[in-house]
Structure 1
């Protein structure tokens, strides 16, 4: 398939720069094979069935955007950094600007008690060494860093204090993501309580979403595209819960493409098993889903890998019709936008 197969025209005014308040008041498009309903996220308990299971990504977004300075004699230069992945023992990969002007061994001061030593570059990314204990590093990063909003939001406004709460799920637990699992941002405690009362079950998995989720596809033949790798884990308990739901005839519905990619990675051998490691799974039309019976997700960028994923689940023509309806009804798009529940 060609990249142009996943293109569409989106009015700029439909790109959301702030979330709905309260979270569950966001709009929800519910799409089956031949029907579309326009609801609200707070209507989920009426849409889901007792015995259904929502799979939730419990990753926690770190304040990965940093602004620092490096000194070389009397000369001071500004350095912008986005932390990408923890390599262990204080070493992080990071996007650094300007990368080529840094010298190995130079110190970068990010303020708030946070500083790092530049240890070179790999594949266009910088290596930063932080000489702090994990707890001290987390505290200093909270003082110095900003939430890493998607590029299309940062082009319209800078991150602020509201984003520290808005760009984090209410169940976030395991720090390591540099982008939020945004479909999960629609859930609040009253909605979770209503779903439990309905008999809907929950399973937590972890996929640390990387900045590569925003990278554009640069090849016309999508078979030539290579996905970025992200670290994730499906515990034995999580795998057992999902298997029990499937045996009982309930539906397994991931909340977000990250949760879907993770459980399908863990089921590549045939059955869902406990799994831990890096996944670069690329889901396109023709993919055989082994676990997911549906998907709750936001509305995605044109020509993106996420458009390819939802097209694999629902069919390309059906997704075109769903997105045409969403645009006509003025749903809000992207990370802070409205949601869809896709049930093939």
Structure 2
């Protein structure tokens, strides 16, 4: 297969331009097992940039902090160009680590957000963050208060564009009324489609770009149930309902049907699942993560895969909501499902 050309796309309606496929960097440092060697990950980042992938997704919560430091090493070491046709770094704030159990809380207070932004700038070694997401919504605080501070940071030149992650439709609308939201990041894949009913239409109505994380079902569409065989004790997927034994055995049937179709198409099941996300529209940028160059190259090849409307419908029938067993995450409080915030007029706090 010829090396694919990575097209460019407008993400949102405020002027941000990125590669049509990004790279999720979380697994390089956290959550999917032990952190990988820096030298290997720096080589992968250099390889991705040379291939034309310029949107790099990280967060201060990954590690915590070590993933931003890794990207900072690549940026400061001259492995990645910035500005113009260079990389666009997207990072996040909002998961504040605490000494009290469970060890973290969601925080959107202005003082904390400013502190978090300054710390991310230092770790990344940049003067300005291209896209700064609120990683999770602080449901104790009106969203308008957090976004007003982000608007100030834009005015100060510390961030260029504002994003939200795992936000409800009402939260997105209220935030966008204070300052334009450029992108909403959400989990979207062949077997995770709950945002299609309300959140995605809201983004499209408001001209907000959509960034799809875990477009390969957290690796499930790479090898199905076998993917769980290699989970380490530090892999968060061990606790996700969809990867529990009984659910996984049921969900394996979905993988087998996708795999059969991939065989007919002459591609891998992961490429087919990723191509399905790409076919959702020109406003959607998936950010599959990997720590292996072979997997990165395979993911990139999905850009060249074409699906007919009939094939799209066939794929969707395999992974209809009633066919998938297990919730997509272990705690609904970590999702948009609980992200509504108090009305501004009733808030008596800061």
Query: Larger strand proportion, structure 1 or 2?
Result: 1
Q: Which has the larger radius of gyration?
A: 1
**Which structure would you say has the larger RCO, counting Cα contacts within 8 Å and 6 or more residues apart?**
1
Query: Larger helix proportion, structure 1 or 2?
Result: 2
Q: TM-score w.r.t. structure 1 length?
A: 0.28
Q: TM-score w.r.t. structure 2 length?
A: 0.27
